[in-house]
Structure 1
């Protein structure tokens, strides 16, 4: 059997499995057109935090043009939708550390909220707390989701905590520690770390599978995704899928059949089938690039990614895998967010809805 035929069969299997995956899927409410009433009247915009010139570029995805740029505090890392989908927050973790709110109806920033070490921001599934990922302080600071005032903190036994995702029942989360190569399981009700595993490498983005059985963890040094069981207290390795150099960001397709994986170190995107846990496609940026973080478009036909070391935003057609646009932005673009998105609520980061 040729590689081309084998790839076609795998893709066919993924397509045939889509209806089976969709019913029990944790992403059942994030299909194309499944918008919350909370985002009614919100124009579609793409927000790009430029970490090296301390700005946010706002792109109109209909024209692929930057329509607005504004200044924020030093080193903006991610633009994060709030749990209730009414506000976006720019997380800046250097100098005057803060979360800058953005009104998504106007794309205008508000007054920055002083916040300790906000590398990233998540929200508990029940919406009770925001979770400020204080990477340098080795802590998760649980806050009021509106005022961002700290309610309590969980110290973590690792270095470089940065990304996470939540279990299907919303009771636990799996967090990646980039600099020590560890994964942590945290019980939200008990407010404690209940499990830890050292995987080595440099774990990055974390994404739960549609059936809720495993987590996929991008590993930038291992050049692939680690497959981690979602069951039990201690995280357990159950597999590994090689994808490409500098594996970084993870984004489910709108129909929850595929996982788009950015390979920052080689300028490619790998497409993994959730049904088979195999890579079925590989998209290449002509001339190379540095695809980092981003979002799938609301209709599922595009994947938008920041070009971390290229000072551009990439737009891919998810049907053909072709790069359709490069959009010039500021210096060092990082945690890009396309908003609004389908879903009942946001769990934070750049593309994490349920």
Structure 2
């Protein structure tokens, strides 16, 4: 059953008080609301929020590289995401032109965690934490192409800027798997530290980043040597991160715990390996996405049920949007 809920929030209630005039962000943000089994779509120019109830509890979502699809992964609505439940998870694929119901769905293993597409938007990669592998799907043929073995309990994954490598954070083996997207083979495992949750890349692809949730640090990886070259202390339980378009800043969301949520985003300079700013967003800062021009960063706040909008030029939180309960994954779509 797929049901829509609509909310229209006035811009004045969304925007935070500012002393300077800022250009309003445009485009659309989507959140995966795991705690009430829904996804939310927010039009940034109007503040209109559309929430769709799903038959899964979505943990992550992603707009395809070509902008055609919204991909959502999760477990059945009453399964336990954290335990690798026996019930099969699903990959739901929505047309971004018609969000009322999925265009199609595919079985995605016992514990699908994250999803990304290749640069063409034709193939999808889904981490299956319970099976210690990444599943590869052909979206045009609507079928699974194969699987790639990883380390233990793969979670977050992201594609390199040139599309040739897929990096996967293996939470229980303290490593990052490097997958060749042409051969669909794991070519390396990089030892990084304790509790890697998600990865990211510098825009030029020379560095990769990994959140070390059990160390409260961001790891920096040299992608040419495939070695960890440094760590930066951030907030409590860092989860996701994203680099700005110029590569000078990496925004890291610090979630904390459910009983003691963190509500901060650390802004890291990857060259000096230092935190240059700390911003207050909302309780349980988790997911991170960025606008196509790099002007805004979007952070989902799992305990607050919101996402925050950060202006990267001023390093200021400029707006907050209410979405469904427990927003985890977050993705940005450019204006139509």
Q: TM-score range by the shorter chain?
A: 0.7 to 0.9
Task: Between the two structures, name the one with larger relative contact order (CA 8 Å, sep ≥ 6).
Answer: 1
List 4+ stretches of structure 1 deviating above 6 A.
Answer: none
Cα distance in 2 between the residues matched to 1:169 and 1:252 = 15
2:135 aligned residue (128, 136, 141): 141
1:208 aligned residue (198, 201, 209): 201
Cα distance in 2 between the residues matched to 1:199 and 1:298 = 29
How big is the shift at 1:50? 0.8
| Structure 2 unpaired stretches of 5+ | 1-25, 77-86, 257-261
Cα distance in 2 between the residues matched to 1:196 and 1:337 = 27
Distance 1:188 1:321, change over 3 A: closer
Distance 1:237 1:172, change over 3 A: same
How big is the shift at 1:293? 0.7
Matching of residue 251 in structure 1 with residue 234 in structure 2: no
Cα distance in 2 between the residues matched to 1:299 and 1:320 = 15
Report if the CA contact (8 A) 1:161-1:175 is conserved.
Answer: yes
User: What is the match of residue 306 of structure 2?
Assistant: 312
Cα distance in 2 between the residues matched to 1:58 and 1:127 = 20
Cα distance in 2 between the residues matched to 1:58 and 1:292 = 17
Cα distance in 2 between the residues matched to 1:148 and 1:180 = 32
Matching of residue 129 in structure 1 with residue 111 in structure 2: no
Greater share of residues in strand: 2
Matching of residue 188 in structure 1 with residue 181 in structure 2: yes
Report if the CA contact (8 A) 1:167-1:230 is conserved.
Answer: no
Counting matched residue pairs gives 294
3-state SS of paired residue (1:336):
strand
User: What is the match of residue 346 of structure 1?
Assistant: none
User: So what's the TM-score if we normalise by structure 2?
Assistant: 0.78
User: So what's the TM-score if we normalise by structure 1?
Assistant: 0.75
Distance 1:296 1:197, change over 3 A: closer
Cα distance in 2 between the residues matched to 1:172 and 1:178 = 19
Residue pairs, 1:146-295, within 5 angstroms? 146-156=140-150, 158-167=151-160, 169-232=162-225, 235-265=226-256, 266-285=262-281, 289-295=283-289
Distance 1:193 1:238, change over 3 A: same
Report if the CA contact (8 A) 2:94-2:104 is conserved.
Answer: no
Cα distance in 2 between the residues matched to 1:224 and 1:111 = 39
